[in-house]
């Protein structure tokens, strides 16, 4: 494409956008983006204008010939796009606060992508993503859809099952964060580390860890379980794993596994935050307000370092690296959410999984991971069942299937409580769940 690429970012008014723009600027020599269209909805207009102005200043400072376009007209933006990225939050952070606070008011985990909160984020998001897929089919049928919108696994599952889009990948910053953590632990450059990832989004495991192509899984396990080690890794919640668990589980767990393997501790911690109005949604609302105040500064022409605190660090690197690898047919290995196609035995071939893939111009080729270790296999299969039923509930607007999904989910696991939560949360999110009120 001699004339350069056209990339469309839906949810362009997100506080993450400057990181994405920085990633594209950094790779401009390899990834010649002619136009970057930032799209949002009326409710996000002010944020879009603030972020868009910063993006234009960043591009000007870098001296790259990338045009930044801002619009509320999605179809106009999508026309002849090469890549479409989605980073939306239906109902914005106020909806996330409900996803966290309503379950916690019943004594169960309230979290953005897990349990009842994750279900309702999926129910609000999936119908919107499927509408976007229809627009892509009509306006840019050859474009790649790269989805960062959470719950990324459930969203990718829905696109694969209920749309005609085949060129889709879901992307998460958890695997790249795990690689960075291991690189720090081993005191080496991130580029020298590779992890064999297999599982689902926010339920992914590291089956093996390589340094310069040689397995260092045992060495990493020793470092992680040595209490005398100054780098004894704590995860984002500051909760240490029991050494016995890490040594015997047979895989490296991701930060989100704390919600499943340490449920009572995590619920107690979140209930404390809930009581003092310090849930993650409320913290993020304050962080966002601060970031947008910074973004308004007309002398700011770089991504501010405060953005790292927002929780999505490395997103742009993961996203820009992925787009770069597709465009340039790099055939490097990256973890993405894609169709399983037999890569993980024991999960449906047509379902979405998060797995290490060779990234080519024709898409991801999943690496064959075989069966997951026995200690983790059942949990992954349970969460996949939850995701499948949740997708059906979203597409059909089915209250019964939403209740069933939550009853399957280990973080709720009660039909009566699931019914109470679903009824309360459907009502609370009424504005964003039209299919449930048709």
Query: How would you label 141-180 residue by residue, b for 16+ Cβ within 10 Å and e otherwise?
Result: eebbbbbbbbbbbbbbbbbbbbbebebbbbbbbbbbbbbb
Distance CA(401)–CA(391), nearest Å, equals 9
Beta-bridged to residue 68, according to DSSP, are 36
Is residue 214 exposed (0-12), middle (13-18) or buried (19+ Cβ within 10 Å)? Answer: exposed
Distance CA(223)–CA(210), nearest Å, equals 15
Phi, psi of 4 (to 5 degrees): 95, 170
> Tokens representing 239?
């909760």
Sequence-separated (6 or more) residues with CB below 8 Å from residue 222? none
> Tokens representing 27?
């790779």
Sequence-separated (6 or more) residues with CB below 8 Å from residue 227? 243
Distance CA(425)–CA(52), nearest Å, equals 34
Distance CA(327)–CA(362), nearest Å, equals 9
Give the count of alpha carbons within 13 A of 268, CB side only.
5
Distance CA(301)–CA(310), nearest Å, equals 19
Sequence-separated (6 or more) residues with CB below 8 Å from residue 265? 239, 258
Give SS3 for 368: coil
Give SS3 for 229: coil
Active-site residue identified among 16, 205, 256, 260: 256
Q: Is 315 a catalytic residue?
A: no
Largest CA distance in the chain: 60
Give the count of alpha carbons within 13 A of 193, CB side only.
24
Active site residues: 256
């Amino acid at each position: 494409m001699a004339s350069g690429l056209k990339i469309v970012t839906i949810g362009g008014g997100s506080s993450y956008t400057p990181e994405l723009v920085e990633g594209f600027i950094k790779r401009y020599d390899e990834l010649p983006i002619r136009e970057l269209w930032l799209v949002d909805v009326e409710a996000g207009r002010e944020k879009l204008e603030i972020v868009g102005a910063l993006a234009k200043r960043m591009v000007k400072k870098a001296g790259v010939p990338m045009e930044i376009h801002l619009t509320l007209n999605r179809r106009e933006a999508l026309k002849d796009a090469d890549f479409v990225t989605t980073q939306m939050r239906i109902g914005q952070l106020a909806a996330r606060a409900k996803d966290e606070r309503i379950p916690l008011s019943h004594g169960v985990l309230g979290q953005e992508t897990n349990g009842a909160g994750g279900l309702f984020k999926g129910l609000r998001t999936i119908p919107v993503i499927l509408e976007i897929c229809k627009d892509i089919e009509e306006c840019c049928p050859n474009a790649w859809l790269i989805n960062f919108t959470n719950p990324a696994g459930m969203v990718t599952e829905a696109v694969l099952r209920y749309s005609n889009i085949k060129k889709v990948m879901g992307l998460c910053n958890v695997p790249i964060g795990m690689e960075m953590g291991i690189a720090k632990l081993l005191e080496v450059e991130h580029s020298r580390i590779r992890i064999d990832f297999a599982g689902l989004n926010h339920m992914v495991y590291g089956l093996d860890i390589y340094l310069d192509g040689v397995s260092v899984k045992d060495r990493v396990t020793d470092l992680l379980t040595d209490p005398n080690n100054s780098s004894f890794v704590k995860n984002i919640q500051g909760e240490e794993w029991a050494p016995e668990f890490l040594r015997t589980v047979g895989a490296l767990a991701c930060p989100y596994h704390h919600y499943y393997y340490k449920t009572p501790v995590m619920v107690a911690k979140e209930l404390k935050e809930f009581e003092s109005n310090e849930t993650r949604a409320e913290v993020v609302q304050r962080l966002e307000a601060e970031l947008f105040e910074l973004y308004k500064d007309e002398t700011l022409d770089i991504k501010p370092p405060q953005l790292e605190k927002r929780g999505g660090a490395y997103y742009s690197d993961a996203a820009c690296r992925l787009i770069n690898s597709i465009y340039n047919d790099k055939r490097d290995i990256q973890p993405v959410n894609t169709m399983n196609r037999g890569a993980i035995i024991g999960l449906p071939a047509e379902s979405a999984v998060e797995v290490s893939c060779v990234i080519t111009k024709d898409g991801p080729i999943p690496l064959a991971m075989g069966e997951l270790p026995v200690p983790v296999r059942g949990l992954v299969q349970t969460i996949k069942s939850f995701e499948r039923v949740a997708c059906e509930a979203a597409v059909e607007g089915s209250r019964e299937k939403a209740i069933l999904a939550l009853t399957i989910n280990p973080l709720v696991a009660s039909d009566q409580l699931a019914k109470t939560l679903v009824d309360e949360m459907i009502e609370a999110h009424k504005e964003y769940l039209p299919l449930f009120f048709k």
